[in-house]
Chain A
Amino acid sequence: MTLTVTMTLNGESVSAEVEGRTLLVQLIRDHFRLTGTHVGCDTSQCGACVVHMNGQSVKSCTVLAAQADGAEVSTIESLAENGELHPMQQAFKDNHGLQCGFCTPGMVMSALDLVANNPDPGEAEIRDWLEGNLCRCTGYHNIVKSIAAGAQAMRS
């Protein structure tokens, strides 16, 4: 059985026929071909699939596509404008907050949710917030620096 999901994806109204079991991340990646959102695990641990739904970060591997019906969803592809990186993206670049790049979209989307609620997070708060985002390359050192720098850039 299929059902129709209609949502706003990165500012555009879209709809698709999905199975009941289809996950939001599958809809984003496989149907709409926005492949910046990644799948790194099957237990909702790694956070590579974090997107924003109605302004909050969610793990899109843990949301059914059907649950996103009527929602506003934004992905990593929505951040840069006219080739200009968002200040948080720029901070990741400036501080070498990424290596292989696979966890990066989830990290950036998660960081933006943190900063939306806490514009000036300290190191311990950033490390605590990243509980749901795994990186195997950076040892987090430069991700923490990047998020602090991105938050500062967004404040100014």
Chain B
Amino acid sequence: MDTGIGAAVTRKEDFRFLTGQGNYTDDIARPGQAHAVFVRSVVAHANLRSVDTEAASAMPGVVAVFTGDDLEGVGGVPCGFAPDGGPMNEPPRPVLAQGKVRFVGDMVAMVIAETLEQARDAAEAVDVDYNEIPAVVSMEAAQAEGAPTLHDLDDNSCFSWGIGDAEATDAAFARADHVTTLELVNNRKCPNAIEPRAAIGEYDSAHDSYTLYTTSQNPHVIRLLMGAFVLGIPEHKLRVVSPDVGGGFGSKIPHYPEEIAVTWAGKQVGRPVKWTAERTESFLSDTHGRDHITRVELACTSDGEFLGLRVHTQANMGAYLSTFGPLIPTYLYGTLLAGLYTTPAIRCDVVGVFTNTAPVDAERGAGRPEATFLLERVVETAARELGIDPVELRRRNFIPADALPYQTPVIVQYDSGNYEGVLDRAAEAADYAGFARRREEARSRGRLRGIGFAGYIEACGMAPSNIAGIIGARAGLFEAAQVRVHPTGSVSVYTGSHSHGQGHETTFAQIVSDRLGIPFENVDVVHGDTDQIPFGMGTYGSRSLAVGGSAICKALDKIIAKGKKIAAHALEAGESDIDFESGEFRVRGTDKSVGFGDIALSAYVPHNYPLEELEPGLDEGAFYDPANFTFPAGCHICEVEVDPETGTTQIVNWNAVDDFGKIVNPMIVDGQVHGGIAHGVGQAMLENCAYDEESGQLLSGSLTDYCIPRADDLPSFHIETTETPCPHNPLGVKGCGEAGAIAAPAALINAITDAIGVAHVDMPATPEKVWAALQSAQGE
């Protein structure tokens, strides 16, 4: 069975998950552990008159009750990004509220007890006296003249940022024949990984060291942020373990105050302190995603040539800045506004706004779904207004394949791709030519059928560290790997990437097996433990294979190079005459060879070995810093049928063609696309994180009230891939984790508006909204 690069190998990790032997954070029971429950603000905006913990402290089983006063002197939760380095209003975020609460769910006190039930009971007894202040919930309310301010600032603005040439864009609009304008809301989402967040903090007085078990996508980042910026614990005294993690979708990137609280408290109470979120807590306190209000204008000639694009966006930051909050609506958004097109002039202005809502950060796609949604909505709308077929309009404006690499007017340079080829294949797969017939047939059944397109491009493989620094990241964005060959030739790979569903234990093993010519079974991948892995920046932005995989390749190159030296000695040949292929070191042009396993053994039992010039052992590490972002692209085509009586939308066809560059495991790639589409469909049709505009109460605070897609909300998908290899990483890979979430919302809303003949329906396009839009269209 082929287990190399390109093979659809079933996953190594599946056996433990399928037999109930996964090891998620909440599955861990540390000896002597106590349980923490957080008392969370029940109001959106208030000064705290008092937090009375006396009754709670006297409850059965209570070990300790802490409030913000106890944590005075402990650093606040840090932010990891300021666009262009600032200026940005960056108010402090205390771990537990100090004098004020700023959203429903803000942490006021921490109750620790022998059992979870005792902690819950005691949390009920903490008496918080809130002196309420009017809440600013919407961005409009937050920016209104005289609005109450959340922080000690003049107003509720966080940053004001722009990208692109405003003058050239205004000039393009001045000579346009046609301008298409849309006002769009990119609805707030709750990521809702099915595993709730959890954390266990533990202090070892014998070694004066700390361990944090946490549901993180990037344990080294948590160690760096919490150790260096919050608790002042040097790295060698702080171990962060992210064991099996049950989905992330961006919500497990940020450094959260609960992680700090349990780590700090573990030392205070002298025993491990464990916290696991309930789902309602997840809704209240996990970072949310999206939440933009945007005005987009596209300037065209009468025959549909794009001349300019102008975008004004308000981005909700929530009550505090989460780790990468300000990155998402700036550099992960504005830089993608060229899309697949040659639009020569683009200007995008973004204001970030504080509101009395949960902090906003990355959610699958993070900035790129927002960019793609506005762009593909305005392109489709322009096609309708100009009377040009939407496929034809896109073709007229595509960046031609021979123009790549292509410098966009919004900083980024696309590396490789064939956008027209992708669209052509998708249109063929979707039988676009036969759509008119299907629409007629649907009409005969009383159904309104529509088709919607979305081309997309995304920037993945984050990121060249020097560029990350220039744009405002307070971290490097390389990845690290260690490849340890054991004496009998089996291999352990230590990666700074983190798998929370992506299947790295399989794909990374395929790479090693392929490159070293050893059995797939002989390779194990270790991730998620800062004590075992040299360093890591973690998994987000579809970066694991492009950056983490490349680090592994670099380490493998070193292994092979050293192996050649050992083989040259063993075979009594010159090092430059040694070739390595299919697990054999061979003297070129001869039949003299030695196997990889023999070389590994020789490295650890160096009897016949060039000891005077070469160290024993076969264990190599590498750091890889990418030369550029990678730019996956694709086209998704959605067909829907709307029941005009009820406004109910059924997705009847979904065709996607994606270019992810080289593919290591097509089975896993397909799964990533499926899951991404489901996130996008959820946003476009079902999901909406809603706060009451007056009180700031979260209205969609449970899975009963917040609708994530169920199996019968979705169709089976038809997906294909094309391949233009990434020219600047050793595997030629681009990344696939977010594509579906990026493309799907525009494709779906384009299809629904096509079906019912209206200019726009806001997301989520619920039956109620679709029905109302249909009624108003028919009334016209």
Binding site for B on A (CB under 8 A): 19, 21, 29-30, 33-43, 45-46, 48, 75-77, 79-80, 85, 89, 92-94, 96, 98-105, 108, 123-124, 126-128, 130-131, 133-144
Task: For B675, list chain A residues within 8 Å (CB).
Answer: 99, 136-139
Are B17 and A104 neighbours in the complex by a CB distance under 8 Å? Answer: yes
Are B703 and A101 neighbours in the complex by a CB distance under 8 Å? Answer: no
Are A141 and B716 neighbours in the complex by a CB distance under 8 Å? Answer: yes
Residue of B nearest to A147 (CB): B711
A36 to B20, CA, bound (A): 4
A80 shortest CB reach to chain B, Å: 5
Task: For B22, list chain A residues within 8 Å (CB).
Answer: 35-36, 101-102
Are A98 and B18 neighbours in the complex by a CB distance under 8 Å? Answer: yes
A143 shortest CB reach to chain B, Å: 7
Bitwise interface map of B from 701 to 722 toward A, beta carbon under 8 Å scored 1, else 0? 0111000111110101100000
List the 8 shortest-distance A-B pairs measured between CB atoms, nearest first: A36-B20, A102-B246, A101-B17, A100-B501, A139-B678, A99-B501, A139-B674, A45-B703
B192-200, B223-231, B768-776: which lies at the interface: B192-200
Are B500 and A104 neighbours in the complex by a CB distance under 8 Å? Answer: no
Task: Tell me which of A37, A99, A108 contacts B671 (CB under 8 A).
Answer: A99
Task: For B280, list chain A residues within 8 Å (CB).
Answer: 42
Task: For B502, list chain A residues within 8 Å (CB).
Answer: 99
A60 to B59, CA, bound (A): 29
Task: For B425, list chain A residues within 8 Å (CB).
Answer: none
Are B279 and A40 neighbours in the complex by a CB distance under 8 Å? Answer: yes
Task: For B671, list chain A residues within 8 Å (CB).
Answer: 96, 99, 137-138, 141-142
Are B712 and A76 neighbours in the complex by a CB distance under 8 Å? Answer: no
Q: Known contacts A35-B27, A135-B711; can you find 19 more A-B pairs with CB under 8 A?
A: A36-B22, A38-B24, A38-B194, A39-B26, A41-B702, A93-B11, A94-B10, A96-B668, A98-B14, A99-B675, A100-B193, A101-B244, A102-B194, A103-B194, A104-B17, A124-B712, A136-B194, A139-B709, A141-B714
A51 shortest CB reach to chain B, Å: 10
A128 to B713, CA, bound (A): 9
Are B244 and A80 neighbours in the complex by a CB distance under 8 Å? Answer: no
Are B13 and A131 neighbours in the complex by a CB distance under 8 Å? Answer: no
Q: Given A75-B20, A79-B19, verify A131-B10 contact (CB < 8 Å).
A: no
Residue of B nearest to A21 (CB): B117
B3 shortest CB reach to chain A, Å: 15
* B677 interface hit (Cβ, 8 Å): yes
A135 to B679, CA, bound (A): 11
Residue of B nearest to A133 (CB): B711
Task: For B674, list chain A residues within 8 Å (CB).
Answer: 138-142
Task: For A124, list chain B residues within 8 Å (CB).
Answer: 712
- 28 pairs, A vs B, C-beta closer than 8 Å: A30-B29, A38-B195, A42-B280, A45-B702, A45-B703, A85-B18, A89-B19, A93-B11, A98-B18, A100-B193, A101-B22, A101-B246, A101-B501, A102-B24, A104-B17, A104-B18, A105-B18, A124-B712, A126-B711, A130-B711, A134-B703, A137-B671, A137-B675, A138-B674, A139-B678, A139-B717, A140-B714, A144-B716
Task: Tell me which of B193, B194, B712 contacts A131 (CB under 8 A).
Answer: B712
Are A108 and B18 neighbours in the complex by a CB distance under 8 Å? Answer: yes
Are A136 and B714 neighbours in the complex by a CB distance under 8 Å? Answer: no
Are A40 and B196 neighbours in the complex by a CB distance under 8 Å? Answer: yes
A153 shortest CB reach to chain B, Å: 14
Binding site for A on B (CB under 8 A): 10-11, 13-24, 26-27, 29, 117, 192-196, 244-247, 249, 278-280, 500-503, 667-668, 670-671, 674-679, 702-704, 708-712, 714, 716-717, 740
Residue of B nearest to A90 (CB): B18
Task: For B247, list chain A residues within 8 Å (CB).
Answer: 99-100, 102, 136-137
Are B278 and A42 neighbours in the complex by a CB distance under 8 Å? Answer: yes
A2 shortest CB reach to chain B, Å: 12
Are B704 and A105 neighbours in the complex by a CB distance under 8 Å? Answer: no
Are A136 and B193 neighbours in the complex by a CB distance under 8 Å? Answer: yes
A11 to B194, CA, bound (A): 29
Residue of B nearest to A108 (CB): B18
Are A98 and B712 neighbours in the complex by a CB distance under 8 Å? Answer: no
A114 shortest CB reach to chain B, Å: 12
A74 to B249, CA, bound (A): 31
Are A128 and B712 neighbours in the complex by a CB distance under 8 Å? Answer: yes
Task: Tell me which of A103, A108, A139, A144 contacts B677 (CB under 8 A).
Answer: A139
A87 to B716, CA, bound (A): 23
A31 to B73, CA, bound (A): 39
A111 to B527, CA, bound (A): 31
A30 to B667, CA, bound (A): 36
Task: Tell me which of B195, B676, B710, B717 contacts A100 (CB under 8 A).
Answer: B195
Are A100 and B14 neighbours in the complex by a CB distance under 8 Å? Answer: no
Task: Tell me which of B10, B14, B20, B503 contacts A37 (CB under 8 A).
Answer: B20
A28 shortest CB reach to chain B, Å: 10
A134 to B247, CA, bound (A): 12
Task: Tell me which of A38, A98, A136 contacts B708 (CB under 8 A).
Answer: A136
A86 shortest CB reach to chain B, Å: 9
A146 shortest CB reach to chain B, Å: 10
A40 to B198, CA, bound (A): 12
Residue of A nearest to B279 (CB): A41
Residue of B nearest to A86 (CB): B18
Are B20 and A105 neighbours in the complex by a CB distance under 8 Å? Answer: yes
Task: For A130, list chain B residues within 8 Å (CB).
Answer: 710-712
Task: For A98, list chain B residues within 8 Å (CB).
Answer: 14, 17-18
Task: For A141, list chain B residues within 8 Å (CB).
Answer: 671, 674, 714, 716-717
Task: Tell me which of A37, A100, A103, A139 contacts B500 (CB under 8 A).
Answer: A100
Residue of A nearest to B281 (CB): A42
A35 to B676, CA, bound (A): 28
A100 to B280, CA, bound (A): 21
| Most chain A Cβ neighbours within 10 Å, of B674, B711, B716 | B711
A39 to B676, CA, bound (A): 23
Q: Given A40-B194, A92-B18, A134-B703, verify A100-B677 contact (CB < 8 Å).
A: no
Task: For B20, list chain A residues within 8 Å (CB).
Answer: 34-37, 75-77, 105
Residue of A nearest to B8 (CB): A96
B59 shortest CB reach to chain A, Å: 15
A30 to B676, CA, bound (A): 34
Are A85 and B193 neighbours in the complex by a CB distance under 8 Å? Answer: no
A12 shortest CB reach to chain B, Å: 15
A137 to B193, CA, bound (A): 8
| Most chain A Cβ neighbours within 10 Å, of B23, B244, B674 | B674
A124 to B711, CA, bound (A): 9
Residue of A nearest to B702 (CB): A43
Are A102 and B195 neighbours in the complex by a CB distance under 8 Å? Answer: yes
Are A143 and B711 neighbours in the complex by a CB distance under 8 Å? Answer: yes
Are A96 and B17 neighbours in the complex by a CB distance under 8 Å? Answer: no
Are B21 and A36 neighbours in the complex by a CB distance under 8 Å? Answer: yes
Are B702 and A42 neighbours in the complex by a CB distance under 8 Å? Answer: yes
| Most chain B Cβ neighbours within 10 Å, of A36, A100, A137 | A100
Are A45 and B714 neighbours in the complex by a CB distance under 8 Å? Answer: no
Task: For A48, list chain B residues within 8 Å (CB).
Answer: 194
Task: For B117, list chain A residues within 8 Å (CB).
Answer: 19, 21
A101 to B247, CA, bound (A): 8
Task: For A96, list chain B residues within 8 Å (CB).
Answer: 10-11, 667-668, 670-671
A128 to B249, CA, bound (A): 26
A104 to B16, CA, bound (A): 11
B642 shortest CB reach to chain A, Å: 20
B116 shortest CB reach to chain A, Å: 8
Task: For A142, list chain B residues within 8 Å (CB).
Answer: 670-671, 674
Residue of A nearest to B23 (CB): A35
A135 to B279, CA, bound (A): 15
Q: Given A42-B280, A85-B19, A89-B18, verify A131-B667 contact (CB < 8 Å).
A: no
A127 shortest CB reach to chain B, Å: 4
A104 to B27, CA, bound (A): 15
Task: For B246, list chain A residues within 8 Å (CB).
Answer: 38, 40, 100-103
Q: Given A43-B704, A96-B671, verify A131-B24 contact (CB < 8 Å).
A: no
| Most chain B Cβ neighbours within 10 Å, of A33, A37, A102 | A102
Task: For A35, list chain B residues within 8 Å (CB).
Answer: 20, 22-24, 26-27
B615 shortest CB reach to chain A, Å: 40
